[in-house]
Amino acid sequence: MKEIALALAIREHHQSYSDLNLKPEDRFRESVRDICGLFVTITDSRIYLLHQTAKEFLIRNDDKTHPQSVHTDPGWKHSLRPQDSHQILTEICMQHLLFAELEAHPLENDAMLSQYVGSHVFLDYSAKHWTTHLHGSNMEVDDAATQTMLRLCDSSSKRCMTWFRIYWTSISAHFPTNFTTLMIASYFGLAAAVKHLLELNGISLNSKDGTYGQSALSWAAGNGFNDVVKLLIEGVGRRFNGIKLPLKKRAQVDSMDICGRTPLSWAAKNGHEAVVKLLVKKGATVDSVDTEFGQTPLSYAAENGYEVVVKLLVEKGAAVDRLDTYGETPLSRATEQGHKAVVKLLSPKASL
């Protein structure tokens, strides 16, 4: 209830928690009832949809043809578009993360994380979900939105390190040190922000974080952000007084992390087909071998059952019978994991 009350209270001009005019919980509970009627139920200060069918009734599926237009139907049926909801939540979360308190009184260390999140209502949600809502909204990112993203991803700011550290608690891994602004924007697939950063002079394009040794390209590839990967490896065209200038430095396509994994290894490991295809096209080494397990991109793709990626890598000449540190081949790893389609795909090649 407190989170939803704060989210609904945030306006574009608010810059601090002190700017909010929050209703007492009993009054807010009445407001929720007035707005939502019987679609929701409130139990122990938590709001739930009354039933799954309520969601099906309310949400419009643009893939289906509805008998009545949303604009002409005066009722609630199919009145909510997911993209609109994502955009509203994007704006709310971003505005919240810009609150002055996060810069003036930031989260200092992980030991204080639970207490900090508990005393900053809605911060945990905003930090963990604002980029998800941004991608779900498919909103056209204008200059103002781009500048907001850049402020939020500014790794030199205490605000950025506060929300990013909170976000990382949802990742089962050590918090990365020495993350640059470009790495953060690339990690979350913020193409407009990445493009702006690439147009700046002095941007450290191939720098690596201090924990995993991954570059911005590696993080973007591992998370499947094809548009960002393309920007990083192709560069951004520039013009001056109508004259086309040479492209700036491009990202190293085979940059290795501390375990010897390349951006292609990460893209293949996570099954990002479009990114794999793009990296191979741009000259990524198909048979790069990591130093931790001796695995190749094909080995990772086969182990995780990504049939299309396996097929693509094999067609590009990836070695199907290469042994890793444990004496395993891509075929044996696929077999152990029960990926029948991949086993079938690799077996004829492996037997040659």
Measured distance CA(139)–CA(130) in Å, rounded: 13
pLDDT along the chain (352 residues), means of 10: 95 95 92 91 93 92 59 72 96 97 93 94 97 94 96 97 96 94 98 94 91 98 98 77 61 97 98 98 97 98 98 96 96 97 82 44
Q: Residue 200 burial (CB < 10 Å; 0-12/13-18/19+)?
A: exposed
Q: 3-state class of 110 per DSSP?
A: helix
Write down the pLDDT at residue 351: 46
Measured distance CA(159)–CA(163) in Å, rounded: 6
Closest alpha carbon to 255 in 283, 223, 293? 283
Measured distance CA(128)–CA(168) in Å, rounded: 8
DSSP one-letter string for 33-78: HHHHGGGEEEETTEEEES-HHHHHHHB--TTS--SS-TTT--SSTT
Write down the pLDDT at residue 350: 45
Beta strand ranges found along the chain (DSSP E): 40-43, 46-49, 238-240, 243-245
Measured distance CA(314)–CA(32) in Å, rounded: 56
Residue indicated by tokens 């690799």:
346
Write down the pLDDT at residue 51: 92
What the block records as the tokens of 291 is 């130093």
Write down the pLDDT at residue 352: 41
Write down the pLDDT at residue 172: 87
Residue indicated by tokens 């037997």:
351
pLDDT tens-digit series, residues 120-137: 999 999 999 999 999 999
pLDDT tens-digit series, residues 177-196: 999 999 999 999 999 999 99
Write down the pLDDT at residue 66: 53
pTM of the model: 0.91
Domain spanning 286-352: CATH 1.25.40.20: yes
